[in-house]
Structure 1
Amino acid sequence: MSDEARVTGESARGWRFEAIGTQWTIDTGKPLTETERAAVLRLIDDFDREWSRFRGDSTVRALASGGSRPLPTDAEAMFAVYADLGAATDGAVNPLVGVSLEALGYDTSYSLRPGDPISAPRDWRRVLSTGAGALTVSQPALIDVGAIGKGRLVDLVLEYLEDAWPGSLTVDAGGDIRCSGVRERIGLEHPYDPTRIIGVVDLADAALCASATNRRAWGDGLHHVLDARTGMPVRAVAATWAVAPMAMMADAAATALFFDGGAQLARRWGVEWVRMTTAGRVEWSPGFGTERCRAELFT
């Protein structure tokens, strides 16, 4: 059902659909109306129209050559998280990594034909600005918010549904999951064997996000988790999982955990986590598997 985490048991039901290139499941305990479903799809499409580098009509594409566009409502919150991510990882996580991904073949046409690696602009905050109600890019650059964007969108969808339909809710967007008013049992998918899980998390009124190098992978060892400083895929970590109150923070922490400094950032944010190295070693935060984060690892 999802990429690196999956809901198990009777709660794995609900409205299923494809959007932004991934499988969604939304479980509200009772069917949503057509009006509510249409509103959710509109919300997802509006976000995608602003932030997708795969759409020719997106804000991101319009700014690829530089210039200004009206400030997306999410921009300041998202770039504040990126500032934290960049500081914690010494620049390894950077919202201008789109040019690096496209250089390796993960482009608008999904050519998957890699060229020479390109590093992202090191000081992205000099290139990107959010003042005067506009998002401005001062030079040719390509924004990619993949490190946090899906988590942010999960939050937006769940918060809309909480207002429209209070009750038990679970939103799962390809393994980025947030639930409210319900407890879910989530399996942590083994990055090298999708038929196995390495543990489970009991999730209640919280979010679990995951990332793995076996997803969106192509060519000779190429995948979507890049070090923006070099434009090359990471090699030491195979998969990460992070639990936080908000999906955007869990998504951001799951990305940071591929790099030095990620565990320290997660601790500062109060995020519990697990990661598996490419050598098969499993590491986890001190609070993982305690009362603070009910979970079990099969190690």
Structure 2
Amino acid sequence: MIQVAPLVHSWAFEAIGTVWRIDAASPLDDGVRDVITDAIGAFDLAWSRFRADSLVSRLGEEGGEAPAPADAVAMLDAYEALDTATAGAVNPLVGESLARRGYDADYSFVDSGAVAAPVDWRRVVTWSTDTLSLAHPAVLDVGALGKGRLADLVLALVPAGPAVVDAGGDIAVRGVTQRIALEHPYDASLAIGVWSVTDAALCASAVNRRAWGDGLHHVLDARTGEPVRRYAATWAVARDAMTADAVATALFFDGGPQLAADWGVEWVRMRTDGSVEWSPHSEAELFS
């Protein structure tokens, strides 16, 4: 257990469609809050497919080349690993598939049928530290790991010392131990266990979040455009939130556990029948 001063300074706010909370030992003055707000706004302006003025929306309409956002290499390199590990089930061009099922920029939640994401997305999307290019119009969606990446960026902007950033359930922890409940995907008043996290991040994903219509939700198999059916919720603990977020997504598919092992990530996942699986060295305290 790390002994620290209490996290007496808290700030809760809404951004990118979710509720954030930052707890810190040092004051979060107006200057710090402005810097964090600006960083979240810049990330959203680059990567949100829900904003007509974003970079990915423009590329989605026109294709072409643009200056690369600072996160492009880290996130799209990770997508390559996700694509390989899941045999194409996780794909950054799944945006059109999500929009067709109703998770579109207008939040219409009207299902227009399944469509698979382009399997040759690496030929469509190219990136470097300087440029981000789409060979033709296509809808980028970085939801598999983007919120985790942003949680890491925000934590880096919190003044030095113990701090916790909770980005709607994607939680990055620095200099303190946090006991985090693993929310039951079918009953938010219950937990299937708790996980003590120190100087690491825990990210979760569940099919009850952003769900609509007849069994539709935001976790699609990019190969088919259909929602996943075998797993209801996943949790992953990693050195940083982007890695944990990426693995939490991969765990809905067969290749997820191997990717987690390759990256040194521990995990828990619940099947839709209620049974629970976990990694060999998981330190989560699971309830019977």
Normalised-by-shorter TM-score class: over 0.9
Query: Paired residue for 1:61?
Result: 57
User: Identity over the aligned pairs, expressed in percent?
Assistant: 60
Secondary structure at 2:208 match in 1: coil
CA contact (8 A) 1:206 1:246 kept: yes
Query: Paired residue for 1:29?
Result: 25
Query: 1:265 is aligned with what amino acid?
Result: L
Q: Equivalent of 1:288, from 262, 279, 282?
A: 282
Return the alpha-carbon distance in structure 2 between the equivalents of residues 68 and 119 of structure 1.
Answer: 24
TM-score (norm 1): 0.92
Which contiguous aligned blocks of 4+ residues in structure 1 show a shift greater than 4 angstroms? Answer: 10-13
Return the alpha-carbon distance in structure 2 between the equivalents of residues 11 and 252 of structure 1.
Answer: 28
The offset of 1:47, in angstroms, is 0.3
Q: More displaced, 103-112 or 124-133?
A: 124-133
Change (3 A) 1:24 1:190: same
1:224 aligns with 2:224: no
CA contact (8 A) 2:72 2:129 kept: no
Structure 1 residues 211-251: Cα deviation after superposition (integer angstroms, max 9, x where no partner): 00000000000000000000110000000000001100000
TM-score (norm 2): 0.96
1:275 aligns with 2:269: yes
Number of residue pairs matched by the alignment: 282
CA contact (8 A) 1:13 1:25 kept: no
Change (3 A) 1:13 1:192: farther
The offset of 1:130, in angstroms, is 1.3
The offset of 1:131, in angstroms, is 4.3
CA contact (8 A) 1:11 1:184 kept: no
Return the alpha-carbon distance in structure 2 between the equivalents of residues 130 and 196 of structure 1.
Answer: 43
1:116 aligns with 2:113: yes
The offset of 1:133, in angstroms, is 1.9
Query: Paired residue for 1:15?
Result: 11
The offset of 1:140, in angstroms, is 1.8
Return the alpha-carbon distance in structure 2 between the equivalents of residues 13 and 107 of structure 1.
Answer: 36
The unaligned stretches of length 5 or more in structure 2 are 1-5
Return the alpha-carbon distance in structure 2 between the equivalents of residues 151 and 278 of structure 1.
Answer: 24
Return the alpha-carbon distance in structure 2 between the equivalents of residues 155 and 142 of structure 1.
Answer: 24
Return the alpha-carbon distance in structure 2 between the equivalents of residues 203 and 245 of structure 1.
Answer: 10
Change (3 A) 1:132 1:13: closer
Structure 1 residues 3-62: Cα deviation after superposition (integer angstroms, max 9, x where no partner): xxxxxxx86971000000000000112431101001000000000000000001100001
CA contact (8 A) 2:269 2:277 kept: yes
Alignment RMSD (CA, Å): 1.3
Change (3 A) 1:132 1:209: closer
Query: Paired residue for 1:182?
Result: 176
The unaligned stretches of length 5 or more in structure 1 are 1-9, 290-294
Query: Paired residue for 2:85?
Result: 88
